[in-house]
Chain A
Amino acid sequence: MSIACPVSLDREKLKSEVRATYAKVAENPHGEFHFHRGPEYAARLLGYDLAELNTLPQMATAPFAGVGNPFMMDALPSGGTVIDIGSGAGMDCLLAARRIGPQGRVVGIDMTDAMLARARLGAAEAKLPQVRFEKADMTELPLDSGTVDVVISNGVINLAPEKQKVFNELFRVVKPGGRLQFADIIVGTELSEDARNNIDLWTG
């Protein structure tokens, strides 16, 4: 995967396109998109437990558009602090909140207002007060240094035009001994310049 945004690609336009795309998903998760959404997809292709997902508010699960399953790798620490980068409608945050328990803390970070609104309603409906959502860019997290046990994320870091800045910021907030366990896309071949400058490919 390319780590830097091509010089010719307008980074603010890219962010704006990403926000617009995911606002549409939040408003109409069953609409036409070129990526899958929802709990059935998460169970069928990503290994989530559909029975567990069906216990969560549809408000949170219907717009889910991750590309992997960050819960497969290691158990989240009971009572720990977990952040979700690009939390969307909050499905993974609610799952994380159940795993860390009421003494823990989950912070979902997203930059799309419509997703944040859905996520907050979903967390309230699920009665998981240990979850909160913050509007922020993933290169400038509203968190103190060395305060996070685990960072999760699902199909979002690839959307960032400056991935190295994201990794630097994640390194800052993670505690010594903490970890990242996230899902994202990988690209098996070197992309052409045209492909790297295709904003539609970035926003997918």
Chain B
Amino acid sequence: MIEALQQTGFQRVRVCNFFTSFSGTTKEGVARKYGVQGANFIAYKAA
């Protein structure tokens, strides 16, 4: 994701926060198996 955003032209791309968004759902095991979690991203277009 970060690489794709950078290739598009966005700058200062970074992940800011992580979330256990699938905790307690029926997909919790699958999420854990594949390391799936929610994340916040920020990316800027040059001025």
- In the complex, residue of chain A having the shortest beta-carbon distance to the beta carbon of B41: A182
List residues of A whose CB falls within 8 A of some B CB: 1, 3, 34-36, 45-47, 66-70, 72-74, 155, 163-164, 167-168, 170-171, 174-189, 191, 195, 201, 204
Contact string against A for B residues 16-45, beta-carbon threshold 8 Å, 1 for contact and 0 otherwise: 110111111111001001111111111111
Q: How far is the CA of A72 from the CA of B42 in the complex (A)?
A: 10
Picked from B17, B38, B43, the residue with its CB within 8 Å of the CB of A180 is B43
Task: Answer whether A183 and B42 are a contact pair too, CB < 8 Å, given A34-B25, A36-B21.
Answer: no
Inter-subunit contact A46/B19 (CB<8 Å): yes
Chain B interface mostly:
mixed
Contacts of A184 in B (CB 8 A): 1, 38-39, 41
Contacts of A178 in B (CB 8 A): 44-45
Could you tell me the distance in whole angstroms from the C-beta of A38 to the nearest C-beta in chain B? 13
Q: How far is the CA of A66 from the CA of B16 in the complex (A)?
A: 16
- In the complex, residue of chain A having the shortest beta-carbon distance to the beta carbon of B11: A179
Contacts of A191 in B (CB 8 A): 34
Q: How far is the CA of A24 from the CA of B44 in the complex (A)?
A: 35
